[in-house]
Amino acid sequence: MENVSSSVKVQPTSTAKGKSSFKGGFWLVVLGAALWGVDPLFRIILLKNMTSSQIVLLEHVIISLIAIPVIWKNRHEFKSLGWRHVGALLFISWGGSGIATILFTMGLTSGNLNAVLLLQKLQPLFAIILASLLLKEKLPRHFSVLFILALGGTYLLTFGFTLPIGHWSEFIQVGSLLSLGAAALWGGSTVMGRLMVGQMKYETVTSLRFVLALPLLSVITWSEGAAWNLPAAGTTDFAAVMLNLIGQALLPGLLSLLVYYKGLTTTKASVATLGELSFPMVGVLINWIVFREVITYAQITGFLLIWFALFMISRQSDSSSLAGEQG
């Protein structure tokens, strides 16, 4: 591998194709994150037969069957990688996919539930700070106002017009620290993803995210020691599990990240992290349409606030790209 200088170079977010490319990139990030929200449609059946770690492991195995040929085809891209890029890839595949999920799950079981959920909402803040430090990104005009609106909308989606905790001392717990760690890893994964799609094809980055996570997920699943309770082969239940597993792997798994990383090639990490808020929005819609959960006025308000913030950020990103071309 080549030596890498201390500066981080990424593909510029404005392209020669003009404003539609940049704006389209942001909405691809929104779409990719939104596809994560359909996860419960598949997972609810799978959880009757497997643990979460078993599901994630099998999902990665299925996707790796597609990803490995892609990696082999694009193997020439590895020649330009330095140790910084290797670290970024491991951060994405291990930190974002595995360790963050473990920390967040541990936080839910060892702290105040609402405090853990609230602190996890700080994920965009970590992404914005890291993007500024590592990628030297500059924030769009009025971004701080839109950021507050988007976070406020996410808060309303989760807690409504209520205070989630009874006393501030409930924040000072191990569970809260674990939740902050998970938020930092998830936010950092957005930044590392932006770094890597400026260095490699987005298809290669997506493929490596799944393949590199396999060793860690295998160790996690093995250490869990849970039995595999799959239905007998050839039965209707077995077919249902397999279809849902494949659907889980290909839709909220592979397709969502392909779309997401494609969008990230022309979108700043600090902007993309707010685009990811489409994920909880779709989750609320799925719960309403499929699982018949009532949507409150607070959630509708939060939904509208997030969409307004995303729309305004998209317009500002569009204007920034156009100004860059005219300058």
Q: Examine residue 12 and state whether it is found in any structural domain, yes or no.
A: no
Answer yes or no: is 327 within a domain: no
Tokens of 236: 């209707």
The answer to whether residue 287 scores a pLDDT higher than 50 is yes
Q: 41: domain range?
A: 19-320
Domain assignment of residue 8, yes or no: no
Helix axes 278-289, 297-326, angle to 10 degrees: 140
Domain membership of residue 7 (yes or no) is: no
Based on the number of CB atoms within 10 Å of its own CB, is 195 exposed (0-12), middle (13-18) or buried (19 or more)? buried
Whether 210 maps to a domain, the answer reads: yes
Q: Is the pTM above the cut of 0.85?
A: no
- Tokens 């030297």 label which residue? 136
pLDDT tens profile 6-47: 344 555 554 444 444 445 899 999 999 999 989 888 988 898
CB contact at 8 A, 157 and 53: no
Look at residue 326 and tell me if it is in a domain: no
CB 286 within 8 A of CB 37: yes
Confidence of residue 293 (pLDDT cuts 50, 70, 90): confident
| Residue 201 pLDDT greater than 90, yes or no | yes
pLDDT digits (tens, 9 = 90+) for 241-258: 999 999 999 999 999 999
Angle (CA) 248 251 253, round 5°: 70
Residue 65 pLDDT class (50, 70, 90 cuts)? very high
Count of all residues that appear for the chain in the document:
327
| 9 found inside a domain | no
Q: State how far the Cα of 274 lies from the Cα of 299, in Å rounded to an integer.
A: 17
Cα–Cα distance for residue pair 259/30, rounded to 1 Å: 9
Q: At what angle do helices 83-90 and 202-224 cross, to 10 degrees?
A: 50
User: Could you tell me the end-to-end alpha-carbon distance of the chain, in angstroms, rounded to an integer?
Assistant: 37
Structural domain count, the chain: 1
183 within domain boundaries: yes
